[in-house]
Amino acid sequence: MSDPLLWHRLQFAFTIVYHYIFPQLTMGLALLIVVIKIGALRTGRPEWDETARFWIRIFAVNFVVGVVTGIPMEFQFGTNWARFSKFAGSVIGQTLAMEGLFAFFLESAVIGTLVFGERRLSRRAHLMAAVALFAGTWLSGYFIVCTNAFMQHPVGHGLAADGTLYLADFWTFLLNPWAIAQYAHTMIASVVTASFVVAAVGAYYALLIAHLGHARIMLRVATIAGLVSSVLVAFPTGDRQAKLVAEHQPIALAAMEGHFETGAGVGIVLIGQPNMRERRLDNPIVVPRLLSFLAYGTWHADVKGLNDFPHSDWPDNIELLYYSFHIMAGLGTLFILTMGVAVLLEWRGRLLTHRAWLWVLMLAFPFPYIATTAGWMTAELGRQPWLIYGLMRTAHGSSANVESGTALFTLIGFTGIYFVLGVLFLFVIGREIAHGPAGDGSGLAPHSEGAHG
Amino acid sequence: MVEIWFGLAAIMAAAFVVLDGFDFGAGTLHLFVAKSDGERRQVLSAIGPFWDGNEVCLLALGGVLFVAFPRVLASGLSGFYFAIFLVLWSLILRGISIELRSHVASPLWTAAWDASFAAASTLLPVLFGAALGNLIRGLPLDGDGWFSLALFTDFSARAPVGILDWYTVAAGVFAWVTIAGHGATFLAWKADGSVAARSHGAALWLYGAATILLVPMTIATGIVNAPMLAALPGRPLAWLTLAVAVAGLAAVGIGLRRRRDLMAFLGSCAFITGMLATTAVCLFPVVLRALGDDSRSLTVFNSGAPDQSLRIALTWYALGLPVVVIYFIVLFRLHRGRAAAATGREGY
């Protein structure tokens, strides 16, 4: 209770995990909205336009919750991580400031036009608004991932005379190989999330035998996008990310796999429990030699175990790191399967009436959120005990002038506010889904009132 | 180099206060100038296309401080810890109020969001005004430039100080009156019918009050920070910014009397910009003033980022800033004319 570091970490972890629920959908959904709007332009059928409008309404609510939960993130660098901000501000502040200047202003200027401007614009101009918003959200994603990539794998910096970091090489910093790999992985994961969400709503209408024309569009777009993105998120992007971890954070790789003893030809663990007291993995089910191959490209490569790293450099919560990584990877495999079957059914023209798989699709949408959260936890817990890998330890980055009770108080405050925010979000989204995509979106459709709260 | 970045921070701060200020001001007057549901939706439609972009100016200000004065950002945000979270939570409540209000056509739902929108919009200018008051009065910085402030102590403006004392509360009230007046000139220009008429009346009262309060506020500022006021005569740039503020105030008066609504609003923008710029010019080079011991103050010279970082950042800032200005021009042109109340599910 008296260690402020724990509360600073928990508050940042809680607020960032909660925040990221929203942008991961907006980024992926922005792409799918562009696809649906292109479909509307090409087919000229009103169902496509209505489907686009429906998802733009969902997007708008999601976007605003993303905005209001995002503002505290930037300020918490200063409030809770003041020593880190002082040390690294003139480097990581660059991408954070660029995000504001190049992405947020663009997004804020376009969002109103996309949501309320359809009647005032030509069809092509409205599509361009959707494309601009897509560009804004994806640009914003790059700046944030690049900021995180510097903390994972610092490049392009120098150490100034006063002991703080400065930016020595802009392009090295901005084109950090870690940032490019992590960006591809993160953005495709956001398309996975959006695909599962759109598919879930399509499946819901199909199961209710309501809005069938719209359900067909949603299912077709979402299953194809879902299969493509689920494959890409594993290979090549996830694979590339894992190789970077193996190269630059070998200790994180060992911890992710619960790998204690150094050895050659190491297998990959499917299931098992890390036993920290005995320093071994209990009850493992292993695919032989696969870790050596995936991490280093040969079947008998040496993989260094945790025992050969100094204990002070171990990630401080290896069990959580291990489980996060395995949940992410396991779910990722299931996503390929889920969407693969759905695409097969869609291709045979049977998805809309295949109630069993529609049920699966309708109930599957929370799992991409769990997988992305687990993925980020893998990245951030694997980075420990460093705040900036090799440069600053997490324990040295928090605000020394903020007491533990103070940090705990604001953490409790966030918990309460975000609970209320979540209830409101679900309530409003539930009403939109109950109202459905039919109609022109102006004037409350009488049939929907009371259907959902 | 650090001087340029001090200027950029001041410009971003002024942009934030002027732009987000008009939607804070509209919010604080929301319950008084708009009575019916239609009128309230008209207020929200007037600020609806702008508020999000306006608020990005706050993030952009944070970004400038982060890059150019990381010591100031780190010390200021952690030292004002509670007040910052009060601001952040108010911003969350306000954004949600604006966007969710018209999602449910129930009188209780809309009344609740109208009230929370007005409450958050009232608290925010008071907090920002008090924050500026703290910067002018000074902070109990230690030898490394850190501090930690209680919300209030004995309200005396002498050590041990709190975030709130007689001066910073006065600054908060003055900021609220000015921002409310600013929002009233915006609504008189942008809204229509009885909302515009009531806003025009409110603007007359509020700007009258702000003009009168200007005298005691200046005297109070001279009491808590004599060197700052004393610096004014020796800095020609401050004469210029002061002239902008005075001209702005005159334009507000003339614009309101002759019902030249755009003139009054632009005058209000000029007044606020001029006042903030004068403060910045007189405070320079101090960013965080140490109370009691001037040698501990964080200035642009001892808290600026290394030159290499600043040079790189200036390159992309020079590319980005004009683009942002263009966004705002396009946005204001796209939504020119008086805002009409939205109906049904579309709009605010």
Q: Give the CA radius of gyration of chain A.
A: 23
The predicted pLDDT at position A443 comes to 36
Residue of B331, B340, B341 lying closest to B19 (CA atoms): B331
Chain A residue closest to B303 (CA)? A86
Residue A61 φ then ψ, to 5°: -65, -45
Residue of A128, A46, A103, A132 lying closest to A438 (CA atoms): A46
The predicted pLDDT at position A215 comes to 95
The predicted pLDDT at position B160 comes to 85
The CA dihedral of A394, A399, A405, A410, to the nearest 10 degrees, is -90
Q: Are B38 and B304 in contact (CB under 8 A)?
A: no
Q: How far is CA B219 from CA A210, A363, B231, B240, in A?
A: 70, 66, 15, 21
Q: Are B277 and B261 in contact (CB under 8 A)?
A: no
Q: Are B306 and B255 in contact (CB under 8 A)?
A: no
Q: Are A19 and B88 in contact (CB under 8 A)?
A: no
- Rounded Cα gap, residues B246 and B293, in angstroms: 34
Vertex B27: Cα angle to B23 and B30 (nearest 5): 135
How many domains, in total, are found in chain A?
1
What are the residue ranges spanned by the domains of chain B?
2-334
Nearest to B91 among A68, A90, A401 (CB): A68
What residues in chain A have per-residue pLDDT under 70? 439-453
- Rounded Cα gap, residues B310 and B5, in angstroms: 8
Instruction: Report chain B residues whose CB lies below 8 A from the CB of A436.
Output: none
In the DSSP assignment, the letter for residue A354 is -
- Rounded Cα gap, residues B251 and B215, in angstroms: 19
Strand locations in chain B, DSSP E?
150-152, 162-164, 286-288, 298-299
Q: Are B128 and B20 in contact (CB under 8 A)?
A: no
The predicted pLDDT at position A452 comes to 35
CA distance A414 to chain B (A): 8
The predicted pLDDT at position B188 comes to 94
Instruction: Report chain B residues whose CB lies below 8 A from the CB of A158.
Output: 308
For CA atoms A68, A73, A74, A78, the dihedral sign is positive
How large is the angle between the packed helices B70-79 and B81-100, nearest 10 degrees? Answer: 90
Chain B residue closest to A69 (CA)? B92
The predicted pLDDT at position A288 comes to 86
CA distance A376 to chain B (A): 24
The predicted pLDDT at position B342 comes to 65
Q: Is residue A228 part of a domain?
A: yes
Residue A140 neighbours by CB under 8 Å, 6+ apart? A23, A99, A103, A104, A107
Q: Give the length of chain A.
A: 453
Q: How far is CA B35 from CA B30, B112, B118, B203, B293, in A?
A: 8, 14, 13, 17, 52
The residues with which A281 forms a beta bridge, in sequence order, are A274
**Residues 87..126 of B with a Cβ closer than 8 Å to A: which?**
88-89, 91-92, 95-96, 99-100, 103-105
Token look-up 């002061």 returns B242
Interchain contact, A94 vs B313, CB within 8 Å: yes
Q: Are B180 and B328 in contact (CB under 8 A)?
A: no
The third-level CATH classification (topology) of the domain covering B2-334 is Formate dehydrogenase/DMSO reductase fold (1.20.1630)
- Rounded Cα gap, residues B171 and B122, in angstroms: 14
Chain A residue closest to B315 (CA)? A170
Q: Are A255 and A303 in contact (CB under 8 A)?
A: no
CA distance B77 to chain A (A): 5
Interchain contact, A401 vs B146, CB within 8 Å: yes
ipTM: 0.91
Instruction: Report chain A residues whose CB lies below 8 A from the CB of B99.
Output: 60-61, 64
| Boundaries of domain holding A134 | 4-236+319-448
The predicted pLDDT at position A153 comes to 96
Average pLDDT for consecutive 10-residue bins of chain B (348 residues)?
92 95 95 91 90 92 94 94 94 94 90 96 96 93 90 84 92 96 95 92 95 94 90 92 95 94 95 95 92 89 91 93 91 84 65
Chain B residue closest to A397 (CA)? B74
- Rounded Cα gap, residues B47 and B50, in angstroms: 5
The predicted pLDDT at position A439 comes to 67
